[in-house]
Amino acid sequence: MNSITKLEPENGRPFGSAPIPPPIYPGIERRSFYLHMRDDVKLAMTVLLPKGLPAGVKIPALVSQSRYWREMELRPPLNWFLSPDIFLRRMRGYKPFFVQRGYVMVLVDERGTGASFGRWSSPWHAETMEDARQVVDWIIAQPWSNSRVGSYGISYLGTTAEQYAALCHPAVKAALPMFNHPDPYRDIGFPGGVFNQRFVRAWDEMGRELDLNHIPAEFGWGARLLLRGVRPVDRDRRRRELRQALLGHDGNTNIFSLGEAISCRDDRVGEIQISVEDVSLGRYHTELEQSQTAVFGWGSWMDGGTADAVLRRFAAYPSCQRAVIGAWEHGGTAHSSPYGKPDRLADPPLAAQWSEMLRFFDAHLKDGAEQLSERVLFYYNLGEEAWQRTPVWPPAGTRPERWHLSSGRQLLPDPPGDETGVDLYEVDFNASTGERNRWWELGGVFGKSVVYPRRAEAAAHLLVYLSPALERDVQIAGSAQINLYLSSSESDGAVYAYLEDVHPDGQVTYLAEGQLRLVHRKPSGEPAPGVPPGHGHTFLRKDVLPLVPGQVVKVCFSLLPVAALVRKGHHLRLGIAGHDQGTFVRLPTSGSPVLSIFRTSLYPSSIEIPVVGE
- The DSSP line for 184-211 is HIIIIISGGG---HHHHHHHHHHHHHHH
Buried b (16+ CB within 10 A) or exposed e, 20-54: eeeeebeebebebebbebeeebbbbbbbbbbeebe
Among 84-93, 133-142, 237-246, the least confident range: 84-93
Distance (Å, whole) CA 456 – CA 446: 28
**What residues contact 256, with CB distance under 8 A and at least 6 apart?**
200, 201, 204, 205
Most confident of 5-14, 15-24, 343-352, 509-518: 509-518
In angstroms, the CA 171 to CA 383 distance is: 42
Residue 532: pLDDT above 70? no
If we measure between CA atoms, which residue out of 441, 396, 384 comes closest to residue 563?
A: 384
Query: Of the CATH numbers 3.20.20.140, 1.25.60.10, 2.60.120.260, 1.10.3720.10, which one belongs to the domain with range 398-612?
Result: 2.60.120.260
Q: What percentage of residues in the chain have a pLDDT greater than 70?
A: 93
Query: What's the pLDDT at 444?
Result: 67
Summary mean pLDDT of the chain: 92
pLDDT value at residue 82: 61
Predicted local distance difference test score (pLDDT) of residue 535:
53
Contact 199, 583 (CB under 8 A): yes
Tens-digit pLDDT profile for residues 252-265: 999 999 999 999 99
249 part of the active site: no
Q: Is 507 helix (H, G, I), strand (E, B) or coil?
A: coil
Distance in angstroms (rounded) separating the CA atoms of residues 343 and 449: 5
- Kindly provide the b/e burial profile for residues 226-254, where b requires at least 16 CB atoms within 10 angstroms of the residue's own CB: bbbbbbbbeebeebebbeebbebbeebbe
Would you state the torsion angle of the CA atoms of residues 404, 407, 412, 414, taken in this order, to the nearest 10 degrees?
-70
- The Cα 606–Cα 481 span in angstroms is 8
CA distance 457 to 434: 12
Domain 18-290 identical in fold to domain 398-612: no
Q: Which of 3, 116, 121, 155 is catalytic?
A: 155
Amino acid at 360: F
Q: Using the predicted structure, report yes or no on whether residue 88 has a pLDDT greater than 60.
A: no
Q: Report d(CA 41, CA 44) in Å as an integer.
A: 10
The answer to whether the beta carbons of residues 377 and 323 sit under 8 Å apart is yes
- Return the exposure string of 64-103: e unless at least 16 CB atoms fall within 10 Å of the residue's CB, then b: bbbbbbbbbbbeeeebeeebbbebbbbbeebbbbbbbbbb
Q: What is the mean pLDDT of residues 422-431?
A: 98
For the full predicted model, state whether its pTM sits above 0.85. Answer: yes
Give residue 38's region: left, alpha or beta (phi > 0; psi -120 to 50): alpha
CA 236 remoteness from chain centre: 36
User: Which residue in 131, 187, 303, 473 is the catalytic one?
Assistant: 303
Assign 524 a pLDDT band (cuts: 50, 70, 90): confident
Q: What is the mean pLDDT of residues 138-144?
A: 98
pLDDT tens, position by position, 273-291: 999 999 999 999 999 999 9
Structure letter (DSSP) for residue 149? E
pLDDT beyond 60 at 6: no
pLDDT value for 122:
93
The more confidently predicted of residues 369 and 556 is 556
Confidence of residue 526 (pLDDT cuts 50, 70, 90): low
CATH, domain range 18-290? 3.40.50
Where do the domains of the chain lie? 18-290, 398-612
- Kindly state the average pLDDT of the residues 448-453: 92
Residue 149 pLDDT greater than 90, yes or no: yes
Rg over alpha carbons for the chain, rounded to the nearest Å, is: 25
Q: What integer is the mean pLDDT of 355-384?
A: 93
pLDDT reading at 530 higher than 50: no
Write the burial class of residue 503 (CB in 10 Å: 0-12 exposed, 13-18 middle, 19+ buried).
middle
Q: What is the three-class DSSP state of 425?
A: strand
From CA 154, how far away is CA 162, in angstroms rounded? 11
Residue 426 has pLDDT above 60, yes or no: yes
Average pLDDT over residues 457-473: 97
pLDDT band with cut points at 50, 70 and 90 for residue 529:
very low
* Spatial CA neighbour of 252 closest among 214, 217, 205, 215: 205
User: Which DSSP string do the residues of 327-380 spell out, in sequence order?
Assistant: SBSTTSSEE--TTS-SSEEPSS-HHHHHHHHHHHHHHHHSTTPPP--S-EEEEE
Instruction: Specify the pLDDT at position 270.
Output: 84
Given a contact cutoff of 8 angstroms between Cβ atoms, the answer to whether 304 and 298 are in contact is no
* C-alpha separations of 278 from 124, 247, 309, 571 in Å: 9, 27, 18, 43
Question: Could you tell me the CA-to-CA distances from 317 to 12, 168, 526 in Å, in that order?
Answer: 27, 13, 18
Bond from prior residue into 182 cis (ω within 30 degrees of 0): no
Evaluate if residue 79 carries a pLDDT over 70. Answer: no
Task: Please report which confidence band the pLDDT of residue 78 belongs to, taking 50, 70 and 90 as the band edges.
Answer: low
d(CA 382, CA 336): 10
| Percentage of the chain exceeding pLDDT 90 | 84
Which residues have C-beta within 8 Å of that of residue 459, sequence separation ≥ 6?
508, 575
Looking at 330, 364, 461, 579, which residue is catalytic? 330
Cβ atoms of 71 and 242 closer than 8 Å: no
What's the CA angle centered on 172, arms 278 and 93, to 5 degrees?
A: 95
pLDDT of residue 448: 82
State yes or no: is 131 an active-site residue: no
Region 567-592: mean pLDDT is 97
Quick check: 89 pLDDT over 60? Answer: no
Which of 9-23, 91-105, 383-397, 531-545 reaches the highest mean pLDDT?
383-397
Cα separation, 2 vs 19, in Å, equals 34
Nearest to 173, CA basis, from 65, 98, 62, 283: 62
User: pLDDT grade, residue 311 (50/70/90)?
Assistant: very high
The pLDDT, as a whole number, for residue 370 is 84
Whether the pLDDT of residue 240 is over 70: the answer is yes
pLDDT band of 11, cuts 50, 70, 90: low
Distance (Å, whole) CA 552 – CA 597: 9
- Determine the average pLDDT of the residues in 357-374: 91
- Active site (annotated) includes residue 155: yes
Q: What is the pLDDT of residue 4?
A: 37
